[in-house]
C-alpha cells in the first residue's frame, strides 16, 4: 500500500498524537516480544472501551504504550493473518489466503529471520495446531514450540488441536529464563513470539472465569488469556526487563458473535472480525511517548515496526507493504486493506476484498457495500447505491493495490465456467454457511447423524460444494465407517481435484479397506499437489512399512523434516528403527515421542532396550522404571530392568526384577541368568 496511501485524502486526519521526539538512539539492542491473542475483537478489551470484560494486563500495556484505535486485520483467519503479521506482506502477495492452500513460499522472509541474523536468540510458543511448523512460520526461530500432546490429537479434529494460555505461558517462561541466562554463551537479546488461542471457539474458560463470565464466556476467554499474559509481564518486571523491552500485542482477527448473521470469523470482512486491538509498548529511551492513534493501520505494519523500534536496518524492509506504525509521517491519511477467500476456496462463492479509510469501509462483492464507520460503526446502513462516486474512488484504489506483486501460483477451486457465470455473493449464502458450521459443531459433539443430515440438506441446495463431501468423509472416518468415508472423499475430489487433504483422507480410508496399493497412490497424489503435506508422507510410510521398511523410513524421515513434533510419527519411526536394530536412531525418536507425550509402557520398554544397546545404562534403568510405573504387570520391562541392573553389577536389584518377571510370565523364568 505504499503509494496510494499518500493519495488517499477522502477525509482529513483526525489525530496524530504520537510523534517521535527523536530517531531511536543506537544503544544495546532491546529485547522484543510479540504477542498475538487469537480472535479478540477490539471492542471487547478494556482499553478500547469494553466494560463487560476485565483486561488489566492489556490496559496496563496500553497505559505505557501506543494504542492503535483502528487497527485492521488483513484477513480474518488465523494462519493467513499470522503470515501477514510476521512477513509484512498481504495475503494476495504471499499466497497464504486461507487454510486450504500451500505453506508459505520460501521467498518470503519472516521478521524472525532478520532478528536471528542480527544475533538475537529467537523463540516462539504457539497454541494452536493451525500454526504448526509445517506451514512455514517457524522460519528464523531457534525454538518453535508447536508440540501438542497426542491425546489432544485423538480427542479433537486437527483444526481444533490447541492448548490453554496457562500451559503456553509456562512454556514461554521456560524458554525466556534460558534465553536470559544461557549456560554457555553470553546472553544475547531475544525475540520471542507468544501466541495464545483461548478466545477462539469453543468458549470454555477455566474457573473462576467460567463462573464470573457465565452467559458471555467469550469475554471469559479474553479475561483468562489476559490474566495468563500477566504472568509474562510480571516475569519481565521481576527480571527488570520490562522497561527496556519492546512489546507488541495484537489479535489476528476479531469474532462476529452473530453480527451480520456470522457467528465466528473468516467468512465476512466487517469490522466485527477485522477491527482488532493493537498496542505497541516501545523500549525505554526510544523517544516515543504513550498515546493513541485514530487513523486506520494494518497488521502488515507490525513487522517493519518491530525492526524500526529495535534499531535494525535490513534488506527485508523491501518486502514490507506498510509503513511503520511509529516514526513515519503522522500526517498521512491511512487506509487499510482486508480480504477473505474463505467463501471462495472452501465453497466456490465470491471472494471479498475491502478497503477502509478513516471514514469509510468499502467491501467489494457482487453486491458492493459502503459504510460510514464514523456515523454507523455497526455497519448496518449500506450506502453503496447512494454514494457511487466514493465507491468508484475506493474501487480504483483497491484495484491499484491488488495489481501490486500478486502471488501467481494460485489453484482455483472453481471451474472457469463457474467463474465466467459469476460467483454467488457470500451474503446470499448465509443459510448454507451456518448450516455447515452447525454440522461441524454437531460432529465435534459426536452427534454424527445430526451433522450429516444438515450437510445433506446443504448438498441438495448447492451440489457443487466440495467441502460438504469432505466434511462427510471426515465424519465417517471418525466413526470408522471406511466405505462411506472413501466414497465421500472421492466425491470431494471430483468437485475439487486439487484438494490434497481429501487425498490423504481417502488414502487412510483405503488402508482400512485393505486396498494398500490404491491408498499409497493417493498419498503420492497428495504429495504431488503439496510436497509439504507431512500427513501424506506419514500415511505413505505407514503403508510402505508393511512391505518395504527402508522405503517407509525414507517417508517418515521426510515427514519428520517437515513436522518433527507429531508424536505418532516419532513413535512409529522409532519402532521401525528398533526393528532394523538401529538403536541409536530408535532411541532418539522414541525419546522424542515420549517427550511429546506418548505415555505408554511398551514404548518406554523399547526405549530402554535402545538405551541399553547404546551403552546408556543409567538412562535404560530410569526408562524401564517408567514403563513399570505405567504398567507394573509388563513382565518384559522387569526382565530388561534386571538385565540392566546386572550390567551395572547391581546383583541384588537384578535378582529382584528377574523374580518379578518370572512370576508374571513363566517363560521368563528360564531367561533370567543366574548372577
Residue 105 CB coordination number (10 Å)? 14
Q: How far is the CB of 252 from Zn ion (least distance, A)?
A: 4
Alpha-carbon gap, residue 400 to 320, rounded angstroms: 17
Q: Please identify, using beta-carbon distances, which residue of 194 and 591 lies nearer to Zn ion.
A: 194
Q: Considering Cα of 342, then 347, then 353, then 358, what sign does the dihedral take?
A: negative
Q: Please identify, using beta-carbon distances, which residue of 38 and 221 lies nearer to Zn ion.
A: 38
Q: Please identify, using beta-carbon distances, which residue of 132 and 555 lies nearer to Zn ion.
A: 132
Q: What is the total count of residues that contact Zn ion (CB under 5 A)?
A: 3
| Segment interacting with Zn ion, rule: CB under 5 A, options 70-78, 166-174, 375-383, 604-612 | 70-78
- The position carrying cell 518379578 is 660
Burial zone of 23 (CB within 10 Å; 0-12 exposed, 13-18 middle, 19+ buried):
exposed
Q: How far is the CB of 83 from Zn ion (least distance, A)?
A: 12
Query: Is 78 an interacting residue with respect to Zn ion (CB under 5 A)?
Result: yes
- Sort strands 291-298 and 336-340 into parallel, antiparallel or unpaired: unpaired
| Segment interacting with Zn ion, rule: CB under 5 A, options 71-79, 187-195, 445-453, 502-510 | 71-79
**DSSP 8-class letter at 107:** T
The footprint of Zn ion on residues 596-615 (CB under 5 A) is none
Q: Please identify, using beta-carbon distances, which residue of 226 and 252 lies nearer to Zn ion.
A: 252
Burial zone of 655 (CB within 10 Å; 0-12 exposed, 13-18 middle, 19+ buried):
middle
Residues 80/137, Cβ–Cβ less than 8 Å: no
Q: How far is the CB of 542 from Zn ion (least distance, A)?
A: 31
| Segment interacting with Zn ion, rule: CB under 5 A, options 60-68, 75-83, 177-185, 307-315 | 75-83
Alpha-carbon gap, residue 614 to 584, rounded angstroms: 6
Nearest to 193 by CA among 249, 260, 231: 249
Residue 577 CB coordination number (10 Å)? 23
Alpha-carbon gap, residue 287 to 20, rounded angstroms: 6
Q: Please identify, using beta-carbon distances, which residue of 83 and 628 lies nearer to Zn ion.
A: 83
Q: Please identify, using beta-carbon distances, which residue of 268 and 522 lies nearer to Zn ion.
A: 268
Q: How far is the CB of 38 from Zn ion (least distance, A)?
A: 4
Q: Please identify, using beta-carbon distances, which residue of 252 and 369 lies nearer to Zn ion.
A: 252
Q: How far is the CB of 42 from Zn ion (least distance, A)?
A: 14
Residues 90/321, Cβ–Cβ less than 8 Å: yes
Query: Is 474 an interacting residue with respect to Zn ion (CB under 5 A)?
Result: no
Residues 313/26, Cβ–Cβ less than 8 Å: no
Nearest to 394 by CA among 11, 25, 80: 11
The footprint of Zn ion on residues 334-363 (CB under 5 A) is none
Q: Please identify, using beta-carbon distances, which residue of 77 and 423 lies nearer to Zn ion.
A: 77
Alpha-carbon gap, residue 143 to 190, rounded angstroms: 11
Q: Please identify, using beta-carbon distances, which residue of 85 and 355 lies nearer to Zn ion.
A: 85
Q: Please identify, using beta-carbon distances, which residue of 83 and 519 lies nearer to Zn ion.
A: 83
Q: How far is the CB of 152 from Zn ion (least distance, A)?
A: 18
Q: How far is the CB of 94 from Zn ion (least distance, A)?
A: 17
Q: Please identify, using beta-carbon distances, which residue of 271 and 646 lies nearer to Zn ion.
A: 271
Q: How far is the CB of 564 from Zn ion (least distance, A)?
A: 24
Q: How far is the CB of 619 from Zn ion (least distance, A)?
A: 41
Residue span 7-46 as binding mask against Zn ion, x where in contact by CB under 5 A, dash where not:
-------------------------------x--------
Q: How far is the CB of 500 from Zn ion (least distance, A)?
A: 22
Q: How far is the CB of 31 from Zn ion (least distance, A)?
A: 25
The footprint of Zn ion on residues 488-547 (CB under 5 A) is none
Angle 229-154-347 from CA coordinates, rounded to 5°: 85
Q: Which of helix, strand or coil describes residue 368?
A: coil
Q: Please identify, using beta-carbon distances, which residue of 264 and 395 lies nearer to Zn ion.
A: 264
Q: What are phi and psi of 362, to 5 degrees?
A: -105, 130
Q: How far is the CB of 154 from Zn ion (least distance, A)?
A: 23
Q: Considering Cα of 410, then 414, then 416, then 420, what sign does the dihedral take?
A: negative
Alpha-carbon gap, residue 191 to 551, rounded angstroms: 39
The footprint of Zn ion on residues 210-249 (CB under 5 A) is none
| Segment interacting with Zn ion, rule: CB under 5 A, options 61-69, 73-81, 89-97, 657-665 | 73-81
Query: How many Cα atoms within 13 Å fall on the side-chain side of residue 491?
Result: 19
Quickly list DSSP for 427-465. GGGHHHHHHHHHHHHHHHTT-HHHHHHHHHHHHHH-TT-
Q: Please identify, using beta-carbon distances, which residue of 38 and 572 lies nearer to Zn ion.
A: 38
Nearest to 618 by CA among 650, 574, 586, 590: 650
| Distances in whole angstroms, Cα of residue 621 to Cα of each of 577, 590, 598, 625, 645 | 21, 16, 19, 6, 7
Q: What are phi and psi of 432, to 5 degrees?
A: -60, -45
- The position carrying cell 477525509 is 11
Residue of closest CB approach to Zn ion: 78
Q: Please identify, using beta-carbon distances, which residue of 38 and 198 lies nearer to Zn ion.
A: 38
Q: How far is the CB of 356 from Zn ion (least distance, A)?
A: 20
Residues 281/320, Cβ–Cβ less than 8 Å: no
Residue span 85-104 as binding mask against Zn ion, x where in contact by CB under 5 A, dash where not:
--------------------
The footprint of Zn ion on residues 243-302 (CB under 5 A) is 252
| Segment interacting with Zn ion, rule: CB under 5 A, options 77-85, 415-423, 475-483, 615-623 | 77-85
Burial zone of 181 (CB within 10 Å; 0-12 exposed, 13-18 middle, 19+ buried):
exposed
| Segment interacting with Zn ion, rule: CB under 5 A, options 74-82, 165-173, 438-446, 522-530 | 74-82
Q: How far is the CB of 239 from Zn ion (least distance, A)?
A: 30
Residues that bind Zn ion (CB under 5 A): 38, 78, 252
Amino acid at each position: 500500500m505504499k503509494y496510494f496511501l499518500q493519495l488517499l485524502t477522502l477525509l482529513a486526519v483526525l489525530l496524530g498524537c504520537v510523534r517521535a521526539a527523536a530517531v531511536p538512539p543506537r544503544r544495546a539492542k532491546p529485547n522484543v516480544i510479540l504477542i498475538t491473542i487469537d480472535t479478540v475483537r477490539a471492542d471487547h478489551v478494556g482499553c478500547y472501551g469494553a466494560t463487560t470484560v476485565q483486561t488489566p494486563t492489556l490496559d496496563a500495556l496500553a497505559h505505557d504504550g501506543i494504542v492503535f484505535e483502528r487497527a485492521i486485520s488483513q484477513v480474518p483467519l488465523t494462519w493467513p493473518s499470522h503470515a501477514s503479521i510476521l512477513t509484512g506482506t498481504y495475503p494476495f502477495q504471499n499466497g497464504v489466503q486461507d487454510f486450504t492452500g500451500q505453506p508459505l513460499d520460501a521467498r518470503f522472509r519472516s521478521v524472525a529471520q532478520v532478528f536471528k541474523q542480527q544475533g538475537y536468540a529467537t523463540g516462539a510458543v504457539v497454541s494452536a495446531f493451525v500454526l504448526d511448523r509445517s506451514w512455514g512460520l517457524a522460519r528464523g526461530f531457534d525454538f518453535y514450540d508447536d508440540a501438542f500432546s497426542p491425546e489432544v490429537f485423538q480427542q479433537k479434529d486437527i483444526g481444533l488441536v490447541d492448548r490453554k494460555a496457562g500451559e503456553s505461558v509456562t512454556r514461554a517462561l521456560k524458554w525466556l529464563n534460558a534465553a536470559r541466562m544461557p549456560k554457555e554463551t553470553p546472553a544475547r537479546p531475544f525475540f520471542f513470539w507468544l501466541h495464545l488461542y483461548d478466545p477462539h471457539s469453543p468458549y470454555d474458560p477455566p474457573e473462576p472465569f467460567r463462573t464470573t463470565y457465565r452467559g458471555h464466556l467469550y469475554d471469559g476467554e479474553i479475561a483468562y488469556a489476559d490474566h495468563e499474559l500477566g504472568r509474562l509481564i510480571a516475569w519481565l518486571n521481576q527480571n527488570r526487563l520490562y522497561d527496556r523491552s519492546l512489546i507488541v500485542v495484537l489479535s489476528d482477527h476479531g469474532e462476529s458473535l452473530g453480527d451480520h448473521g456470522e457467528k465466528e470469523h473468516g467468512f465476512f470482512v466487517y469490522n466485527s472480525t477485522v477491527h482488532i486491538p493493537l498496542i505497541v509498548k516501545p523500549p525505554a529511551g526510544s523517544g516515543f511517548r504513550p498515546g493513541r492513534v485514530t487513523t486506520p493501520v494494518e497488521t502488515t505494519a507490525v513487522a517493519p515496526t518491530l525492526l524500526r523500534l529495535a534499531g535494525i536496518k535490513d534488506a527485508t524492509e523491501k518486502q514490507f507493504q506498510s509503513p511503520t506504525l511509529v516514526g513515519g509521517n503522522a500526517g498521512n491519511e491511512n487506509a487499510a486493506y482486508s480480504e477473505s477467500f474463505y467463501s471462495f476456496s472452501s465453497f466456490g462463492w465470491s471472494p471479498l476484498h475491502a478497503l477502509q479509510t478513516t471514514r469509510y469501509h468499502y467491501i467489494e462483492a457482487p453486491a458492493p457495500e459502503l459504510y460510514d464507520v464514523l456515523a454507523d460503526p455497526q455497519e448496518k446502513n449500506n450506502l453503496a447505491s447512494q454514494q457511487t462516486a466514493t465507491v468508484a474512488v475506493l474501487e480504483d484504489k483497491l484495484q491499484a493495490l491488488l495489481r501490486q506483486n500478486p502471488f501467481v501460483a494460485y489453484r482455483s477451486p472453481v471451474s472457469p465456467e463457474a467463474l465466467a457465470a459469476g460467483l454467488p455473493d457470500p451474503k446470499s449464502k448465509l443459510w448454507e454457511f451456518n448450516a455447515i458450521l452447525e454440522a461441524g459443531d454437531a460432529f465435534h459433539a459426536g452427534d454424527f447423524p445430526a451433522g450429516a443430515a444438515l450437510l445433506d440438506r446443504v448438498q441438495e441446495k448447492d451440489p457443487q460444494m466440495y467441502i460438504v463431501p469432505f466434511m462427510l468423509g471426515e465424519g465417517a472416518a471418525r466413526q470408522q465407517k471406511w466405505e462411506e468415508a472413501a466414497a465421500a472423499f472421492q466425491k470431494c475430489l471430483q468437485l475439487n481435484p486439487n484438494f490434497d487433504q481429501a487425498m490423504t483422507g481417502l488414502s487412510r480410508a483405503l488402508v482400512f479397506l485393505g486396498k494398500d496399493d490404491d491408498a499409497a497412490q493417493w498419498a503420492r497424489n497428495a504429495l504431488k499437489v503439496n510436497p509439504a503435506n507431512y500427513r501424506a508422507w506419514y500415511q505413505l510410510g505407514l503403508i510402505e512399512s508393511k512391505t518395504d521398511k527402508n522405503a517407509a523410513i525414507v517417508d517418515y524421515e521426510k515427514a519428520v523434516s517437515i513436522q518433527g513434533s507429531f508424536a505418532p510419527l516419532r513413535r512409529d519411526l522409532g519402532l521401525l528403527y528398533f526393528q532394523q536394530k538401529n538403536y541409536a536412531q530408535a532411541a532418539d525418536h522414541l525419546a522424542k515421542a515420549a517427550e511429546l507425550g506418548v505415555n505408554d509402557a511398551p514404548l518406554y520398554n523399547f526405549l530402554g532396550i535402545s538405551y541399553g544397546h547404546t551403552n546408556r545404562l543409567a538412562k535404560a534403568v530410569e526408562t524401564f522404571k517408567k514403563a513399570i510405573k505405567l504398567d507394573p504387570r509388563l513382565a518384559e520391562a522387569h526382565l530388561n530392568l534386571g538385565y540392566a541392573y546386572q550390567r551395572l553389577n547391581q546383583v541384588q536389584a537384578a535378582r529382584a526384577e528377574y523374580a518379578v518377571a518370572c512370576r508374571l510370565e513363566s517363560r521368563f523364568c528360564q531367561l533370567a541368568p543366574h548372577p
